[in-house]
C-alpha cells in the first residue's frame, strides 16, 4: 500500500536541516577579508586549512576519543542491557524512565558536578573528558541495546541450548547476532555526537583539550575564520555521514528478531 505523500516531514528536513547545512557548505568555499567577513569570491583556502597540519591531529584526536568512548559504552552497556531485558515488564519500563533521566536533565548540571568530582590529575586532560563523555553517553547506548535484547525471543536461546549449543555458543551464535543491530544503533548514537562534542571538552578540558567541536567554535566565534570553521564542520559531517550510512546499511539488513506468528 502506498501511503499519502509525506510532505510535512520532507519540508521540515529540507528547511531545518538541508538548508543550514548547504549554507555552511557554501561558506566553506568562500574567501574572507581580514575582519572575518565572507566575500563573494570562491576559495578553497578554508578546506586547505581544515585538512592541514593544524587540523588533522585535532580531527584524529576527536575520532579516537569518540571511538574510545563508544567502546567503553558498549562494554559497560551490554551486560546492563542483558540484565534489564530479563526484568519483568513493569520494572523494565521503570528502568527505561530512570535511565532516560540523565538524557533530559540539564547537561550543564552534570558537567559541573563532574568537574568537581574528577581528581585534579584528570581535569583538563583527554582522559577526564573521555570519562565524563562515557558517563554522559551511556544511556544512548543502553536504550537501543535494551530494545534489541527485549526483542529476542527467549525461546530462541533455549532452542540453541536444546539443540546442543553450550551457553557460550548460544551467545556467540544466536544472542549476539540477534542483538547486533541494536549494538550498531547504540554505537552510532554515541560515536556521532561524541565526535562533534563541544560542551564537555570545553568545560572539562579547561581549554587544554582541543577537539573538532572546540576548534570549530573557536574559529567561528573568536578568530572569525568562517571559511575554515565551515570547512571543518563539513569535514566533521563527512566523517560522521560515512559511518552512519554504513551503520544504517548494516542494521537495515539485520533480521527482525522475533519472527511473527503464522499468517493466513
Partner 1 sequence: MGSSDRADGPAIELREVSKRFGGRAVIDGTSLTVGRGEFLALIGPSGSGKSTLLKLVSGIESPDSGRVLLSGQDVTEQPPYRRRVHTVFQNYALFPHLDVAGNVGFPLRMAGVDRRTRSARVAQALDWVELGPFASRRVEALSGGERQRVALARALVSESEAVLLDEPLSALDPHLRTQTLELLQDIQERLKVAYLYVTHDREEALRAAHRVGVLNQGRLEQVGPPEEIYRRPVSPFVASFIGPINWLSGERSEQGDGWVELSGGPRVPTTSRTLPAGPKLLLGVRPQDLWLGLEGFLGARIVGRQFSGTSVSLRLMSELGVPLTAELRADVETPPVGTDVRVSWSPEEAHIFGVAP
Piece of 29-37, 110-118, 120-128, 176-184 that binds a copy of itself (CB under 8 A)? 110-118
Piece of 50-58, 103-111, 161-169, 175-183 that binds a copy of itself (CB under 8 A)? 103-111
Q: Which of 48, 248, 255, 258 binds a copy of itself (CB under 8 A)?
A: 248
Choose between 159 and 245: whose C-beta lies nearer to a copy of itself. 245
Q: Does 7 bind a copy of itself (CB under 8 A)?
A: yes
Choose between 58 and 136: whose C-beta lies nearer to a copy of itself. 136
Residues of this chain that bind partner 1 (CB under 8 A): 153, 155-156, 158-166, 169, 173-174, 177-178, 254-259, 261-264
Which of 62, 73, 66 lies closest to 102, judged by CA? 73
**Of residues 147-186, which lie at the interface with a copy of itself (CB under 8 A)?**
none
86 C-beta neighbours (distance < 10 Å), count: 10
**Of residues 45-84, which lie at the interface with a copy of itself (CB under 8 A)?**
76, 79-80, 83-84
At its nearest, how many Å lie between a copy of itself and the CB of residue 121? 18
242 contact choice in a copy of itself, partner 1, none (CB below 5 to 8 Å, kind-dependent): none
Q: How far apart are CA 87 and CA 180, in angstroms?
A: 20
220 contact choice in a copy of itself, partner 1, none (CB below 5 to 8 Å, kind-dependent): a copy of itself
- Measured CA to CA in angstroms, residue 130 lies from 51, 61, 89, 195, 255 at distances of 24, 11, 33, 11, 33
21 and 237 Cβ atoms separated by less than 8 Å? yes
64 C-beta neighbours (distance < 10 Å), count: 14
Q: Extract the runs of DSSP E, i.e. beta strands, from the chain.
A: 30-32, 38-42
The C-alpha cell that represents 131 in the structure block: 570519562
At its nearest, how many Å lie between partner 1 and the CB of residue 85? 16
Choose between 160 and 240: whose C-beta lies nearer to partner 1. 160
The C-alpha cell that represents 106 in the structure block: 540539564
Q: How far apart are CA 76 and CA 72, in angstroms?
A: 6
At its nearest, how many Å lie between a copy of itself and the CB of residue 218? 11
24 contact choice in a copy of itself, partner 1, none (CB below 5 to 8 Å, kind-dependent): a copy of itself
171 contact choice in partner 1, a copy of itself, none (CB below 5 to 8 Å, kind-dependent): none
Which of 53, 67, 104, 84 lies closest to 151, judged by CA? 84
Q: Which of 216, 227, 231, 257 binds a copy of itself (CB under 8 A)?
A: 216
Residue indicated by cell numbers 547504540? 186
CA atoms within 13 A on the CB side of 196: 17
At its nearest, how many Å lie between a copy of itself and the CB of residue 163? 24
122 contact choice in a copy of itself, partner 1, none (CB below 5 to 8 Å, kind-dependent): none
Q: How far apart are CA 134 and CA 29, in angstroms?
A: 35
Residue count of the chain, please give it: 264
Amino acid at each position: 500500500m502506498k501511503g499519502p505523500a509525506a510532505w510535512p516531514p520532507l519540508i521540515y528536513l529540507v528547511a531545518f536541516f538541508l538548508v543550514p547545512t548547504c549554507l555552511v557548505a557554501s561558506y566553506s568555499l568562500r574567501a574572507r577579508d581580514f575582519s572575518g567577513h565572507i566575500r563573494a569570491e570562491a576559495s578553497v583556502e578554508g578546506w586547505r586549512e581544515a585538512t592541514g597540519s593544524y587540523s588533522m591531529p585535532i580531527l584524529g584526536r576527536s575520532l579516537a576519543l569518540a571511538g574510545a568512548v563508544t567502546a567503553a559504552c558498549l562494554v559497560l552497556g551490554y551486560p546492563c542491557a542483558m540484565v534489564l531485558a530479563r526484568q519483568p515488564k513493569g520494572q523494565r519500563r521503570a528502568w527505561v524512565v530512570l535511565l532516560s533521566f540523565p538524557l533530559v536533565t540539564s547537561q550543564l548540571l552534570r558537567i559541573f558536578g563532574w568537574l568537581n568530582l574528577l581528581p585534579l590529575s584528570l581535569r583538563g586532560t583527554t582522559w577526564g573528558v573521555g570519562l565524563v563523555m562515557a558517563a554522559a553517553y551511556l544511556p544512548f547506548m543502553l536504550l537501543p541495546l535494551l530494545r534489541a535484547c527485549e526483542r529476542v525471543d527467549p525461546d530462541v536461546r533455549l532452542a540453541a541450548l536444546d539443540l546442543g549449543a553450550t551457553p557460550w555458543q548460544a551467545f556467540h551464535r544466536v544472542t549476539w547476532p540477534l542483538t547486533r543491530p541494536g549494538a550498531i544503533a547504540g554505537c552510532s548514537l554515541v560515536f556521532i555526537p561524541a565526535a562533534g562534542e563541544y560542551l564537555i571538552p570545553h568545560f572539562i578540558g579547561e581549554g587544554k583539550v582541543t577537539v573538532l567541536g572546540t576548534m570549530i567554535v573557536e574559529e567561528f566565534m573568536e578568530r572569525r575564520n568562517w571559511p575554515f570553521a565551515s570547512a571543518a564542520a563539513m569535514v566533521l559531517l563527512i566523517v560522521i555521514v560515512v559511518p552512519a550510512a554504513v551503520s544504517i546499511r548494516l542494521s537495515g539488513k539485520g533480521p527482525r528478531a522475533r519472527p511473527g506468528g503464522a499468517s493466513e
